[in-house]
Structure 1
Amino acid sequence: MSDDSQSDSITVAQPPFDRKTADVVLRTSDQVDFYVRKGILAEASMIFEDMFGIPQGGNVNGESVTPVISMTENSCTIDFLLRVYYPVDNSQLETGEDALSALEAARKYMMDYAMKEAKKQFIIHAEKEPLRMYAIACSRGLHEEMRMAAKASLSRPLEDSHEYVKELDDISANAYLRLRDYHRRCCKAAGSLHYSDTTLGTRGWSRSAFSKTSFNPDRLWERQYTEWARKILQKQPSAAVIASPDTTYAFLTEDNAGRALSHIHLDRLRREIGVFVKQFAEAIDSVVETVRDRYSLEKSWR
């Protein structure tokens, strides 16, 4: 391709990355030029800071030329990374693939804050499409994102979260079966949680049943809630599901709350249940993390 034809195919990025007063140009893999300032990039990334220490640019006919840096990332990824650090609205990554690409680029350029923002957006996509995001992360060998997507899959029953998606063609049967086994193990661990308290006011959970001796009658509803929630956890071992207002509302509107009212007024129950559910969700997260620590999904990605 000639220089003229290549120049014709190059487009300029949308504002604010179109200002010719910039002192460096980032040219993406899809031929989009981002006009940016070295100072901002250097503060955001040690990689860019070191890069700018190397002499760049030059003079043409006595006029200074803005240096151009060719990037391996596409314009969607670069736009996201830059908007994290520029005083403009952050861009929303429309697909999980875009979020993963942004995460990889943020790691590559050591842009910690951009990595956190990209991770937040990946989680949003993983919650919507857990199996698909797991398969894509697995095919790219992204271990942390595999774990994030696997955890997101726990919010759905096994039969609902594991419908076929075309990205499964890119991973091994072992990778898929290990995800299913991980889901089952988490169901077993979270679904076996039993509530415990004493008249001294302590509260806790264990994976073995407790005796009813020394039981505080004012907390009968807590035991009832835990036993009711265990049925959900046996299919959806997710702290997010239990912490959802919809789940709390379901408990309060079913017969469970009516049985608890013999020991506690409904208004008090409504006040206290939020704190209780938060602690219960933390206990669920703890047992799920224990499963993950003992069960390596990463072995399946190759």
Structure 2
Amino acid sequence: MSTFSAAGSDKSEETVTKADSSTTIDIVVAQPPFHDVEETDLILRSSDQIHFYVSKAIMSFASPVFADMASLPEGDKLNIQERIDHRPCVPVLDHSEELYQLLSWVDPRGVPSLELDDMKKALRLADKYGMNNTVCRIGVVLEALDNLMKKDCITVYAIAVQCGFTSLIEKAAHHSLNIAVQDIPNVPEFTNITGTAVQNFYTYRLACNRAAQTFISSGAWTQDQYLRAFSVSIPTCCAAEGRATRFGTMHLQLMRWFAVYIHDIQEAVAERPVPATVRDPASHRDTLVTMAACNKCRNHIPTFLSFIEFVATGIENAIANIKISSTYM
């Protein structure tokens, strides 16, 4: 019988004896915790010849593929005639790096990695082996990782489409609005989804862009408190000449600096139709500087700051009811 002494995180070579012969062979044991022979009765050998010690019951419960394999009479099983240390050894076509990530989600001894690349590896094999519960579990965790979502929302969108994570599709698409359309990365995962799914993504973005712009251009914000503060009807000051501006059916004579701000914010939300675009200090810094330089306009700075929040909330409401299509074929 062989002796196993793998320790730490390094792969270790072990000398073992096949149960059906006297041949001594060297094997490489997987990283912990899949090196431990206690409470395990099955070995999975990866394509790069790494041996993972797992529980047949756990693998059968997680995957119909392994369940079918376990239910066959011993003599009928394919590819598991080889035995190492009295355990069946099943060769699989998966690389040890991917297999390790999958087993980390399946086996209670494992600690799953929350790195996106590692989760992608686990998802690919979970789908391959019909591990639907594992796929769903990864999806739930992925949706909860806000920082990862903000950083990699385009990749997450493609993954969500592949796996059918409906709520994650919505969330990833919504996060993508924080990226200007010309800055959207060309992620390789887009090649794994249908053209319809890609079109749905850009159609959703276009609808949100139009909704945000329409809110501003329609003049829905033209409440009395703002018109009193930003129209040229106030006593003469630095920008009394104003600028004629049309909003829907209204023609307004606005303070020049305010008309410039409205024009600039319309262009900004055409690229990033989210409240954060309006709340970004860089979007109104120049306007505040101009207002502060005028003895009369500076009195309206509190009203202008209130206006910014009003517009941000309006944009949020305008895009809230826009949903991305769930048709992907």
TM-score range, shorter chain: 0.5 to 0.7
**Aligned mates of 1:217, 1:25 — CA distance in 2:** 78
Equivalent residue, structure 2, for 1:79: 100
Give the C-alpha shift of residue 262 in structure 1.
2.6
Matched length: 256
**Aligned mates of 1:242, 1:26 — CA distance in 2:** 54
Equivalent residue, structure 2, for 1:201: none
**1:209 paired to 2:220:** yes
Question: Judging changes above 3 Å, is the alpha-carbon distance between structure 1 residues 249 and 38 closer, same or farther for their aligned structure 2 residues?
Answer: farther
Equivalent residue, structure 2, for 1:290: 321
**1:115 paired to 2:139:** yes
Q: 2:207 aligns with which of 168, 181, 185?
A: 185
Give the C-alpha shift of residue 19 in structure 1.
1.3
Question: Judging changes above 3 Å, is the alpha-carbon distance between structure 1 residues 129 and 37 closer, same or farther for their aligned structure 2 residues?
Answer: same
Instruction: Give yes or no for contact 1:107–1:115 (8 Å, CA) kept in 2.
Output: no
Give the C-alpha shift of residue 90 in structure 1.
3.1
Give the C-alpha shift of residue 125 in structure 1.
7.2
Q: Report the more deviating stretch, 104-113 or 150-159.
A: 104-113
Give the C-alpha shift of residue 290 in structure 1.
2.2
Equivalent residue, structure 2, for 1:197: none
Equivalent residue, structure 1, for 2:31: 14
Q: Deviations over 1:196-228 (max 9, x none)?
A: xxxxxxxxxxx861441366999xxxx99x967
One-letter identity of the residue aligned with 1:13:
A
Residues 102-251 of structure 1 mapped to structure 2, 5 A cutoff: 104=127, 108-111=131-134, 113-119=137-143, 124=148, 127-128=151-152, 130=154, 140=162, 142=164, 144=166, 147=170, 149-161=172-184, 173-193=195-215, 209-213=220-224, 230-238=266-274, 241-242=276-277, 248-251=280-283
Paired residue secondary structure (1:14): coil
**Aligned mates of 2:87, 2:128 — CA distance in 1:** 23
**Aligned mates of 2:41, 2:219 — CA distance in 1:** 62
**1:33 paired to 2:51:** yes
Paired residue secondary structure (1:35): strand
Q: Deviations over 1:143-169 (max 9, x none)?
A: 636555544432222233265x66666
Paired residue secondary structure (1:254): helix
Equivalent residue, structure 2, for 1:198: none
Instruction: Give yes or no for contact 1:190–1:237 (8 Å, CA) kept in 2.
Output: yes
Structure 2 regions of 5+ residues with no counterpart?
A: 1-19, 75-83, 230-257, 293-297
Equivalent residue, structure 1, for 2:40: 23
Return the structure number with greater helix share.
1
Paired residue secondary structure (1:291): coil
Paired residue secondary structure (1:110): helix
Give the C-alpha shift of residue 185 in structure 1.
0.8
Q: 2:299 aligns with which of 247, 250, 262?
A: 262
- Percent of matched pairs sharing the same residue: 19
Question: Judging changes above 3 Å, is the alpha-carbon distance between structure 1 residues 286 and 208 closer, same or farther for their aligned structure 2 residues?
Answer: same
Instruction: Kindly report the root-mean-square deviation, in angstroms, between the aligned alpha carbons of the 2 structures.
Output: 5.7
Instruction: Give yes or no for contact 1:93–1:121 (8 Å, CA) kept in 2.
Output: no
Give the C-alpha shift of residue 236 in structure 1.
1.3
Structure 1 regions of 5+ residues with no counterpart?
A: 195-206
Asked which structure has the greater CA Rg, the reply is: 2
The two structures have a TM-score, normalised by structure 2, of 0.51
Instruction: Give yes or no for contact 2:149–2:156 (8 Å, CA) kept in 1.
Output: yes
Give the C-alpha shift of residue 118 in structure 1.
4.0
Paired residue secondary structure (2:299): coil
**Aligned mates of 2:266, 2:46 — CA distance in 1:** 50
Give the C-alpha shift of residue 187 in structure 1.
0.8
Give the C-alpha shift of residue 17 in structure 1.
1.9
